[in-house]
Structures are given as structure tokens and as C-alpha cells.
Chains A and B, each alone.
Chain A
Amino acid sequence: MTEPSETTVDSLVPIFFMGKRYDVPASLTIQKALEYAGYQHIRGCGCRGGVCGACGTVFRTPGSYKLQVGLACQTVVQPGMHLMILPFYPGNRSSFDIEQMNGTGGELAALYPEIFKCIGCNACSQGCPMDIDVMHYMAQAIRGDLAGVAETSFDCIMCGLCASRCPAEEVQFNVAILARRLNARHGIIRAEHLHERVKEIDSGKFEEPLRNLMNKTTEELKELYKSRESEPQMAEEDWTPEDSRYV
């Protein structure tokens, strides 16, 4: 089986995977280049689309001392690069009961007291394949600004590269998800309409209309489907339908 996307034939370039040389087509991502070299990934491969965090990769290119990062599924190979995929990184994680918390910075600091050891070196931000300003959200965490952490860290894929680079042994990605959850649960106003609707459903309000639909013939359903009123694309939030029998 080949993934049905390989169509171009292009020049081969050398890459060094864990020190070993393979010559691979220059246009491929690191992930596909390794498959071209003969690997069947087990670890270090997940969504193949840049969102799951399985294939965080560190690499160096010739002539540069700089350590660079990327996702193997998103990064195109560079001639002469030395690389290593980091499929796992051991990270400290504190358990919590979100129902019993209030969503304060103090609660986060109690679960992760090591955040105060951050030395502000910025290695984490430089090591983030999602271009997240990790050091900034760690500073926000230290200040107790959970909404800030939530916003800055929103795109985090929890690949662990930040933690791998941290001289203060922080586990930034676990700090970030705790802050996001506390903020979403306690910092932001709950959606009243959800609770109201759940109550309506529990009270049996939609039971009869739904059961009626379930007993209709296909032809009857088609008529109802065709004649149902559609909320206009550009309608504002307060739009209401003309037929309000079932809403």
C-alpha cells in the first residue's frame, strides 16, 4: 500500500535519522521520507495532520549550531539534516477534582508549585512546533492569570517538546491544560441556555413532537424536510423562526 498522494518524482537528498543516513525525495515531509526509507511508523505517528502531538521532532541543519523543532508530519526534509522524533516525554501531572475548585491562580500554583522555578530562558517557546509563546503563558500562570494562559496556550498539542527543553524541569503542557480547564469551567460564565434546554428535555417537552416524527412515512418526512424554515446565513443571534411550535 502506498498513500495515494505520492505523485512527484524529485531529486534525492540525504537526511540522518538518529545518525543514520537515508537518501529521500526532497519534497517529502520527514514522516513520509522515513516511510520512503522503509520504516513503518509505530511510535511517533498519529494524525498525520499536525494536531495530535505524536511526532514532535528535533533537528539540526548543516552549518548551524541551532537546534530546531517541527512536527515530522508537517516539516519538509532539508538536505543534510540530523533529526530525532520524540514520541514521548515523561511529564509530571497533578490530579484534581474540578468540581471542588474555584478556578484561581492559587489552585494552579498549589498543584504545580514548580512554576515559580521558571527562569525565563525562553527555550520552551523556541522549542514549540506550534509557535506558541510558552514562556509568556508560564509568566501568566505565575501571575495567576488563568484566562491569559488559556488564550495563549489554546493551540497546544501536548507534544512535550517544551518540557524536553526546560532547564527548570517544568511540564508546561500540563500546566496549560489545567489552566484552560479551570478557566472554561470557573472563569467563564456558564451557558444558561444549555441548562434550560436540558430541563425542558427532562420534563418531556419534545417527547411528543419527536415520537410523531419517528412514526411518519418517508414521504411525509420529505415534505416536512423541504418546508422547514431555515435560519438565514447572516441572521443575528436573536433571530427567531415564524413557526415556534417546536422550539
Chain B
Amino acid sequence: MPYPESLKKLIEKVVATRSARVERKKNGQEFPPLKLEEREPVLRNFHPDFIKGTRRSIKIGPSKGYAISNEIVDLLEAKSRVNPYLVNLLDPDFETDVLIIGAGGAGTAAALLAAENGAKVTIATKLRHGDANTMMAEGGIQAADKVGKDSPYYHYLDILGGGHFVNDPELVYTMVKNAPDALRWLEGMGTSFSKYEDGKMKTMHGGGTCRKRMHYAADITGAEIMKTIRDEARNHEDMINVIEFAPAVEIALDDQGRCAGAVLYNLETAEYQFVKAKAVIIATGGSGRLHIQNFMTTNHYGATADGIVMAYRAGVPISFLHTVQYHPTGVVFPEQAEGILITEKFRGAGANVLNIHGEQFVYEREPRDVEAACIIRECSPDGRGNGVPTPTGKFGVWLDSPMIEMLKGEGTVRKEFPGKHILFRRFGIDISVEPMLIHPTLHYQNGGLDINNKCETNVPGLYAAGEVAGGIHGENRLMGNSLLDVIVFGRIAGAQAAEYIREHGESGTGNLDHVKHYNEEVEAAEIDEDRIAPMILPDYSNPEVRKKQLTKDYFGTLS
């Protein structure tokens, strides 16, 4: 849908202030960023994390008493999808050295490193190999590799500042220190990063960075990385077996409490199958499809927190899940594209964020939580009420992409942002000429399973890497640190799991006793609702149709 007349009129106000804004930007005059002490009140008043009644304490399990989003608690206070007394673990359907649950960036990186270290790998994934948030990451991947200008020291400081200084220091240390090597690894596999003629990587700023260290592949960095490492995994079919459309639903433990494999659910045949493994890596990603606080999301269809649920039942505590990341810039018009991510790279390239009057109200490179809270304040009737109304009654603010053409030359938007250019062109909007209308959208699970710097959980033989793990990003992740997280910690998890099985050999016979106990705990806590988890897939089907879907179990020959 092209912009209707009402919005075109408002765009004129953006155009009216544009040349003066470009001039200021060229002269280094930026809209003043908030001081550290000014961030707090905006977050407290306008960030969705602080809305009363949206969190509650978990009643059961290893992190009992910890208050996190209701939507996640709903899944943790639920029974297993499968009756643990009925699954046969004595006769495994598959056997492998390392089982990896999830086939996004972390899972695939882990598979490559486990295989490189001699382990036979099975990847079980809910959808297809590569169907993950990694594929959708746009803007870039951070690494402090510009010698003489940047260093892991500054990368560390930026991460701590963005994460409110509560991040796990060991995990941050591990990530910044391994970042340049992660980039080198990706480059060596043939990832097409944007480079200068002399081979130097192009880098730019992201929100909250003090040095330009965001490496990118146009505006589809995650897709480029995901396609490359997936292709490499396919070069090792003898070592890496991928089972698609088979999400794991429970972890199995042996009688010593070590991880012994996982139960998969075959989405097409409805069978529950057991994979016996010597070690398991959880790389199931995030939870945007839970639509926390009913927010629209940038996330992949499969992002439903399954790994958190399974591991929590197996005894792994969780942390940093009390904050959720809302990406400052999701599409709010046209409606067909609502929620879709508009990469922070636009702001990194200099695009201003503007209200209904075409005026700046926020520095465009604040950390994500601060930027999002400022945009919500501008749009909210309880705030400043300067939002741009959409035809469907929502509010947004302008992201002035055309000014990038004036800053960096004509054709830059099309060249540097081909993915978004084509997306909007399909709707009759040329973003090198017209700005985009955006609003914060549910983006990232800041916390997750407790791990150490070897990606170990407290369950021997059970590892976690990527968005499903917590601590690295503290209470707020910076742009470009998620792709980095999945590669660095995915590789570590793969190598560590391979080493673990060399030391420990076979796991014992698997059992689901912990699931039986967990189900009993749910009952004992008098959680009366009839919930089951993990969710596996969201259900967006029409409620009117669902009312007529009366078959709840197998009868006769059809379900």
C-alpha cells in the first residue's frame, strides 16, 4: 500500500526540515544523547518492562520466586506435552554423539565445531535447517578488530553500558575476546561481508557503540551468515545429520543425572521419538512468538521458548529473563508488513527519527531500550502525544531514510539496504525518497538459561548457546551482539560438547523421571489451568474455525 494522502501531507513536514538536519549532521552536530542518569526515568515511565502486572513469580522449578513475563511463566507453569510414562526410551529411534536442538546460527555453528572435533552430530529442528532468527538479523555483527582504533576493551565497556552494568563479566569477556576470531572463521568459509577494495571490512556504528565495529553484508547480514554456515554443514553430511520438522519436547537424563538425549515430536507423523545422545546442546533461540504484552514481533515463526521450558524442567535455572528487548524500529505501515524489522543500520548510517511535526526528539543511536522508550513516549497519549497516526489507528514515528542519500550519495539506500528497498517497493513505497513509519516491536529475549563460559549448564552433558542462554547481554542487548553471540558461543558449545564426550563416553539409559516430578509439582502448586508446554508453534488460525475443530484426540482413522 503506498502512503495515503493523509500521510503524504505529514511527510511534507519531514521534507521541510530535512536539509537543515543533514547540514547539522555533516557538521557533527548531533541531537544530544541522554546522559546515563537521564535514561533511568524514561525507561521507568515508558519502557514496557516497567508496566505493572505484566510479570509474576514462577511458582515452581529451579528459579522459583523469580518474576518474569506472564507469557513465559505460563509455559513454565505447565505440564509436558507428552505423557512421560508412555515414552519408550529403552529402544532409541536415533543414536548420536552430540544432539543439537535447533538449527539456527548457534546450532549450526555448534554442529560444525563438534564435527570438526570428531563427534557425530544430529541436529533436530522444528522447521527447516536455517529457519531461525539468525536468518532474519539484518544490521550486522560486532567485533573489535580495527587495529589502532578499537579494542575488546571498548567492546566490553559498550556491552556493559548497554546492559545496565549487570551482565555476567566472564561471558562478556569470552564474547569480546573471541569476536575477531569468529569473524575470521566466517570470512574463511566464504561469507560475503561488505569490504573495501583492499580487503578491509566496512564497519559502522550501532546504538550504544563508541567505535564503528558493526560488520555487515548489505542489510541481510544474518541471512548471509546463515546461508553460508548451513551450506558448510551440508558439506559434512557424513558427520552432521539434520532432522527437520522434529522439535524436541523433553530432555532425557540418565540415572546419574547426566543428559542422555531428547524426545522429539515429528510434526508430520505425530510420533514421539527418542534420540539417545552422549551430550545435548540447546540452541532453540528466543521467544518473540509468545507476543509478550501482545506486542507485534520481528521474530521467526518458531520462536516459542521451547528450549527454556525443556531445560528448566531438567533443573537448569534461568536469569535475566525479567527484561525483554523491544526493537525501536518495526514497520507500522503498511499493515501487511507490520512488525517486520527495520534494521538499526539505517540509524547507524545517519537516518533521524522524527515526530509528527518532522522534528527530532531523540538521538538516533541510543541503546535499544532507551531508544524504544523514547519513541513510545513520543507516541503515547500519556507521553508527548506527537505520534503519526496510521490508517488503522496505531501510532508511529518517521525514520528518515532519504537523508542517507544526501549524506552518503544517491543510490546508497538501494545499494546498502536492498532487502528493505525491495520489501517497501512491493507496497509502492520507495524508501530512498519517502521515510518509513515505525514503532517499537518485540525483538529479543535478553536472558535465558544459566551457562558458564564453556556453555555448560548445571546438568552434566547439557549445553546451551545463543538467544536461549542468558547473562551475556545483561538487561539489554546492543545491536550486532546477537549474531556475534550465536557464532562465538555456538562454536564454544560444539567444541566443549565434543570434548565432554571424549572424557565421559556413553551416557546411561535415559529416563523422564524429572518430567514426572515436574508434572507433580505443577499439580501440587495448584496451578489449575490445563496448560501444556513447550508451545512449538503459535496458532494464528481463525478462532471462528477453531471453535468447530472438535476433535481433540485420535478417534478411528483420523485425528
B-binding residues in A (CB < 8 A): 1-5, 7-8, 27-29, 32, 35-43, 45-52, 54, 74-76, 93, 95-99, 130-131, 150, 154-155, 157-158, 177-178, 180-186, 188-198, 200-201, 206, 209-211, 213-214, 218, 221-222, 224-226, 228-235, 237, 239-241, 244, 246-247
Contact = CB atoms under 8 A, between A and B. Distances in A.
B339 A184 contact: no
Contacts of B231: 177-178, 181
A1 B157 contact: no
B235 A97 contact: yes
Contact of A225 (B26, B36, B130, B201): B36
A105 to B, nearest CB: 15
B183 interface: yes
B200 A47 contact: no
Contacts of A233: 25, 28, 30, 205, 350, 365
B415 to A, nearest CB: 11
Given A47-B301, A52-B136, A225 B152 contact: no
B86 interface: no
B201 A193 contact: yes
Given A74-B423, A210-B152, A228-B154, A46 B131 contact: yes
Which bracket fits the contact residues of B?
35 or more
Interface in B105-151: 127-128, 130-131, 135-136, 143-151
A64 B423 CA distance: 25
B189 A37 contact: no
B187 A194 contact: yes
Contacts of A75: 426
A51 B223 contact: yes
A237 B211 CA distance: 11
Given A54-B127, A191-B200, 15 more contacts: A7-B394, A51-B136, A183-B192, A185-B188, A189-B197, A189-B199, A194-B183, A198-B180, A201-B177, A222-B36, A226-B35, A228-B154, A231-B149, A235-B212, A247-B154
A209 to B, nearest CB: 5
14 contacts: A38-B542, A46-B301, A52-B130, A98-B232, A155-B419, A181-B189, A186-B190, A193-B200, A198-B180, A214-B169, A228-B157, A230-B211, A233-B205, A247-B151
Contacts of A232: 28
A231 B220 CA distance: 25
B165 A76 contact: no
Contacts of A246: 151, 153-154
Interface in B179-199: 180-181, 183-184, 187-193, 195-199
B153 A209 contact: yes
B388 interface: no
B160 interface: yes
Contact of B335 (A8, A214, A224): A8
B272 interface: no
B418 A214 contact: no
Contacts of A40: 537, 539-541
Given A46-B127, A51-B135, A194-B187, A5 B335 contact: yes
Which 9 residue pairs are nearest across A and B when measured between Cβ atoms? A181-B190, A189-B199, A38-B545, A185-B190, A246-B153, A5-B338, A225-B161, A214-B169, A197-B145
A26 to B, nearest CB: 11
B53 interface: no
Nearest to B364: A233
Interface in B284-304: 291, 294-296, 298, 300-301
A4 B540 contact: no
B245 interface: yes
Contacts of B28: 232-234
B559 interface: no
Nearest to B234: A93
Nearest to B212: A231
Contact of B149 (A155, A192, A239): A239
B200 to A, nearest CB: 6
Given A40-B537, A194-B183, A1 B151 contact: no
B235 A95 contact: yes
Contacts of B136: 47, 49, 51-52
Most buried by A among B35, B158, B180: B180
A216 to B, nearest CB: 9
Contacts of B165: 218, 221-222, 225
A205 to B, nearest CB: 9
A54 B131 contact: yes
A229 B210 contact: yes
Contact of A1 (B30, B296, B539): B539
A195 to B, nearest CB: 7
Nearest to A98: B190
A35 B542 contact: yes
B360 interface: no
A210 B176 contact: yes
B311 to A, nearest CB: 24
Given A154-B192, A184-B193, A51 B147 contact: no
Contacts of B295: 4
B268 interface: yes
Contacts of A46: 127-128, 131, 135, 300-301
Given A38-B546, A198-B181, A210 B154 contact: no
Contacts of A229: 210
Given A181-B228, A210-B177, A234-B25, A193 B267 contact: no
B201 A96 contact: no
Interface in B355-406: 365, 392-394
